[in-house]
Amino acid sequence: MRHAFTVSLKENSQELIINLINFLLYFSIELSIIFLPLLGVQLGASDFQVGLIGTCYGAAFMLSSLFFGWRSDTLGRLPLIRFGVLIASLAFILQLLASNVILLMLARSFVGFAMGIVAAALVAFAYESVSCLGKFSSYGALGWIAGAMTAGIVKDFNNLFLLSGVLCMVAFLASLWLKEELGQRKKAPDFFGIIRRNFRVYLAIFLRHLGATAVWLIMPLYLVSLGADRYWIGLLWSVNFGAQFIAMRFVERFNENKVFALGQILSILVFLAYGFTNNYQYLIVVQVALGISWSCIYVGALLIVLGSGEDKGTASGIFQSTINLCNALGPFIGGIVAQGIGYKGVMFFAAFITVVSFLTVLPKPDKTSNETIS
């Protein structure tokens, strides 16, 4: 009985540390990104250049997570997690040197590269180590809440960048307590086979998140145009992340395919609401719906792709890369649309492309109703 209790305590400690690292990573990411468009404008960036700043981060994150997620299936997860958070600590602090738009682009590229190293490996490690992937994901949302609220209080860009670096260093120290049981080394996973197996899910995620990332980078500017100050921007972000933290702990109980489709429908309604509103205070309710929609999409899609085969690091890497391909292209598209037809046009673009995303996951007429969308 005593031995069983000790084993259980060790397992719980491992899970607690994994959740803590996830919390700290998203805390640091949100601290640095929430007011980034405002910093870009302060440095003289146009709407289009603000989009390019986001594109640099997303492109670096995409390529890094794709490669290192693939390598984690042969090298192991933990070495990449530790190396990634250590490099991320340095990358966040180097943002302090960004005195013009070009340097800010370079700094955000380095941050994206560092976060890509750890992201896919951490998700795969969590899937194999924790009892509930939804609960693990919810701690990322909790980190977003902490980041948004802290950013709304601190406000100063330099202090936010410095704090992001410190949090990643704490995550690195926490990772030293983790242990990984390494099995026999496998040959390199079938990269393209994994893509084919989950193609419809990856495509649906790509389309929905392309619309979302076109919105997120210009969203602070849009809210300012509606009269919101930095406190209200932080509050609205916190409401979204609070809804995610709660919803992610429950959505795993339901069928992942239905949950994923529900998230698409809610996203369409959210983007339409953004486009039609003229009062930023009404968006509190919309942010709750946004949090639920992303929880359904993120956890539902992760369960589908990670449950489809053994090469979970590669599958997670492709998933993270799909999201970050959107992080690269979405701000670029959002900047162009905003420059051409205004901020509301970006909202309606996101709604339209999410409709297309939803159509990609609808079951074919000749298929049985219990078929998965993968």
Residue type present at position 208: R
The number of beta carbons lying within 10 Å of the beta carbon of residue 196 is 9
Place of tokens 């490690």: 125
So what's the pLDDT on residue 272?
95
367 φ, ψ (degrees, to nearest 5) = -100, 155
State residue 334's pLDDT score: 86
- Residue with token string 């009062």: 279
> Which residues, at least 6 apart from 79, have a Cβ–Cβ distance to it below 8 Å?
none
> Rounded to 5 degrees, what angle do the CA atoms 114, 137, 113 make?
10
Give the other-Cβ count within 10 Å of 11's Cβ. 13
Q: Are 24 and 168 in contact (CB under 8 A)?
A: yes
pLDDT at 5 (0 to 100):
31
Which CATH number fits the domain 12-177+188-360, given the four candidates 3.40.50.2300, 3.40.50.10490, 1.20.1250.20, 1.20.140.10? 1.20.1250.20
Buried b (16+ CB within 10 A) or exposed e, 75-114: ebbbebbbbbbbbbbebbbbbeebeebeebbbbbbbbbbb
What distance in Å separates the CA atoms of residue 361 and residue 309, rounded to the nearest whole number? Answer: 20
**Residue 42 and residue 148 in contact, taking contact as beta carbons nearer than 8 Å:** no
Helix (H, G, I), strand (E, B) or coil at 55: helix
Predicted pLDDT at 373? 53
222-226 contacts, C-beta under 8 A, 24 or more apart: 222/274, 222/343, 222/344, 222/346, 222/347, 223/280, 223/283, 224/38, 225/343, 226/277, 226/278, 226/279, 226/280
Residue 159 has phi, psi (to 5 degrees) of -65, -35
Ordered mean pLDDT values, 10 residues apiece, the chain (374 residues): 39 83 92 82 82 83 85 82 93 90 92 90 80 80 84 84 94 89 60 80 91 87 86 83 86 85 93 91 92 91 76 77 81 84 91 91 51 46
CA-nearest of 93, 100, 94, 89 to 41 is 100
